[in-house]
Amino acid sequence: MEEEALDMGEITISDWYGHADKMAEIRFRTIARRLPSLVRQAMGVAWRASPRDTLCAVILNLLGGVFTAFGLLATTGVLTALFTAGPTLGRVQTALPSLALVAAAAAMRATLQAGAGWAQSRLNPQISRLSEEELYRQTSEVPLVAFDDPDFHDALERATSRGMYVASTVVTSAIDVLTAAIGLIAVAGVLGVLHPGLLPLLLLAVLPDAWAAVRAARMRYTTEYALIPVHRRKWIIGKLLAERSSAAEVRAFTMRGFLLRMYDAVAVAEQDVRLALARRQTITRLIGEAIGGLGAALVYIALGLLLAVAAIPLAIAGTAVLAIKSAQTSLANLMYATNRLYEEGLYFTDFTRFLDFCADRHHPPSTLPATAALTGFRRIAAENVTFSYPGSDAPALRGVCLEIKRGEVIAFVGENGSGKTTLAKILAGLYEPDSGTVFWDDVDLADVHPDAVRLRTAIIAQDHTRWPLTARYNITMGTDKGEPALHAAAAIAGADDVIAGLPHGYRTLLDRRFKDGCELSGGQWQRIAVARGFHRDADLLICDEPTAALDARAEHAAFEGLRAHADGRTVVLITHRLASVRYADRIYVLDHGKIVEQGTHEALIAADGLYRDLYTLQAAAYR
């Protein structure tokens, strides 16, 4: 049977080169203009990581350049003594003082370079830690809706796939640039004293290589930038093939061949792109090396002509050869470091731009003392709330108005996609409405930090996270209130029976990937999640399908516990099991983002609307 063509979604070959034209516009002058900014930015990161090690690296490299120049000048004295007339022993003896200075300069330079290397090796782990912490600090603070935005995911991918990890490389490259520049200045000073005309010729030998390196780096970055959607698709497919959560269905639906075929289609296309990149980079480097070799030949021809016309003595010529070699090495190092700094700086800029992107999305400073303002609400009201997910054509909520009084049990019901969970997340401060207002008493939630709402809200979610932590931390979530509160929450949710069966009780790690870890069933995890919500003991408790994974007996016990726990508290219940909401104080029925009905169970049944239709459909199954 012939295999059908694969639909690769948003990934096409043309998409992979979406940024190629923009990146191809970058020229060497662009790099030269941007170099001071990159060096300044990199040194700023290094300074925040460790001022002491940054100073050590820079100062020791600077002193190393000084001793490089001193050694070259001392070499002139050695060659002058050796090239004078007289017995060999006498010439060697005359050269010994200068030779000792050369040796001392070499020893000092080696010592200083070793010290600078030590300082740089200390900087790297400190910079990596600083960068990682900053990324996770910023990412964890952005509004939840950002994670529904494809642009945010692309920026996050660029920042985490490479941008975060090149911070230490950028700093190292910046220090290498400074080191090479210092060495070049030192050698250029000596070479200029010997004969100023040699230095311009030296540039001919190195600049072609620099051009080739910059162009190759631009090609590589362009390709990597454009392949980001491919990396994400490969990662997603790879997780489906290798993760425990999908392993059962991969086998049950015999998906292995299909997923491998999809993975191979993406991987082969990526491979073709990389092979083409390697070919273009090789051609570029060959051109640069050919032109560079011609420049080097011109340097030595010019030096020979100067000797032929006696423009410089032989000793000076010998020193010039050593200086040219040293200058070539320093200039080549400078170009390599500059190229590497620019290339890695592109990725590092992705990282810093993502941090700025996150910072721009942070909630503005509160205009009220939020914690005090939200204590002990009497009512929560939503007025004309509208909300759309990023990239969505249709709003998830349209002009929603509702009121919740303290101590009430409110139910949101409706078909899938009607907006129930979205509305609950807005009330909990997880989403901000596009328009409209949510009040806690007379306080507009737009005027307070979302954390002020979240601290007084508990959510029992259907798609709860299975934290790879101990059973205790899965319930307390880092806000331990003591043993009585822990055991009470577990008992109300029926999680105490689950924990009693664990080998180490509350200290059991709930992740089988770790040593001595245990895995729970879906229903057991649901009880842990319910206990987590009860333990928070918040003013507003939102239960989003809290019993979806429970059996009938466990579900009945959970709702009995919920009713007992809800005494005097405000509860928002979202469920498709309408038998569970008949005792709610008020039921809001949502349809396509609008509240179409509200009232008690009896009133809605009498109204003969959508609620009655849904309730009747479910009730018929039990007749």
What CATH number corresponds to the domain at position 329? 1.20.1560.10
For residues 344 and 481, membership in a common domain is answered with: no
- The single-letter DSSP state of residue 440 is E
Range of the domain at 521: 464-537
For residues 478 and 351, membership in a common domain is answered with: no
Q: For the chain, what is the mean pLDDT?
A: 78
Asked if the model's pLDDT at residue 19 lies above 50, the reply is no
Indicate whether 378 belongs to any domain: no
For 362, residues 6+ apart whose C-beta sits below 8 A from its C-beta are: 141, 142
Which of residues 602 and 42 earns the better pLDDT score? 602
Which range has the worst mean pLDDT, 116-120, 185-189, 550-554? 550-554
Confidence of residue 595 (pLDDT cuts 50, 70, 90): very high
Domain count, the chain: 2
Write the pLDDT tens digit of every residue in 83-107. Answer: 666 566 666 666 677 778 878 888 8
Measured CA to CA, the distance from residue 49 to residue 53 in angstroms comes to: 9
Residue 115: CB atoms within 10 A of its CB come to: 17
For residues 357 and 476, membership in a common domain is answered with: no
Rounded to an integer, the average pLDDT of 417-422 is: 89
Task: Specify the pLDDT at position 591.
Answer: 92
Measured CA to CA, the distance from residue 535 to residue 480 in angstroms comes to: 9
Among residues 273, 150, 188, 154, the alpha carbon closest in space to that of 223 is found at 273
Give the three-state DSSP class for 590: strand
Measured CA to CA, the distance from residue 533 to residue 542 in angstroms comes to: 8
Indicate whether 416 belongs to any domain: no
Indicate whether 4 belongs to any domain: no
Indicate whether 412 belongs to any domain: no
Last residue of one domain, picked from the residues 519, 537, 555: 537
For residues 202 and 347, membership in a common domain is answered with: yes
Which range has the worst mean pLDDT, 67-76, 146-155, 176-185, 525-534? 67-76
Indicate whether 248 belongs to any domain: yes
Task: Specify the pLDDT at position 423.
Answer: 92
For residues 474 and 356, membership in a common domain is answered with: no
For residues 176 and 295, membership in a common domain is answered with: yes
Residue 233 contacts residue 8 (beta carbons within 8 Å): yes
Look up tokens 């996770």; give the residue. Answer: 136
Measured CA to CA, the distance from residue 585 to residue 604 in angstroms comes to: 12
Write the pLDDT tens digit of every residue in 560-582. Answer: 666 666 667 788 988 887 877 88
Task: Specify the pLDDT at position 199.
Answer: 67
- Out of 5-14, 203-212, 405-414, the most confident range is 405-414
Measured CA to CA, the distance from residue 433 to residue 377 in angstroms comes to: 20
What's the longest Cα–Cα distance across the chain? 124
Task: Specify the pLDDT at position 385.
Answer: 92
Rounded to an integer, the average pLDDT of 265-279 is: 83
Last residue of one domain, picked from the residues 482, 517, 537: 537
Task: Specify the pLDDT at position 21.
Answer: 42
What angle is formed at CA 483 by the lines to CA 478 and CA 486, rounded to 5 degrees? 60
Beta bridge partners of 46: none
Asked if the model's pLDDT at residue 4 lies above 80, the reply is no
Supply the CATH number for residue 470's domain: 3.40.50.300
Indicate whether 480 belongs to any domain: yes
Task: Specify the pLDDT at position 86.
Answer: 59
For residues 475 and 354, membership in a common domain is answered with: no
Task: Specify the pLDDT at position 88.
Answer: 61
Write the pLDDT tens digit of every residue in 336-368. Answer: 777 777 777 777 888 888 888 888 777 665 555
Last residue of one domain, picked from the residues 345, 361, 377: 361
Which range has the worst mean pLDDT, 95-99, 449-453, 516-520, 579-583? 95-99
For residues 233 and 94, membership in a common domain is answered with: yes
Asked if the model's pLDDT at residue 424 lies above 50, the reply is yes
Indicate whether 390 belongs to any domain: no
For residues 350 and 475, membership in a common domain is answered with: no
For residues 345 and 492, membership in a common domain is answered with: no
Write the pLDDT tens digit of every residue in 473-512. Answer: 899 887 878 888 899 889 888 888 899 988 888 888 888 8
Say what the pTM is.
0.65
Task: Specify the pLDDT at position 9.
Answer: 47
Among residues 591, 580, 585, 619, the alpha carbon closest in space to that of 603 is found at 585
Task: Specify the pLDDT at position 437.
Answer: 92
Indicate whether 340 belongs to any domain: yes
Task: Specify the pLDDT at position 383.
Answer: 92
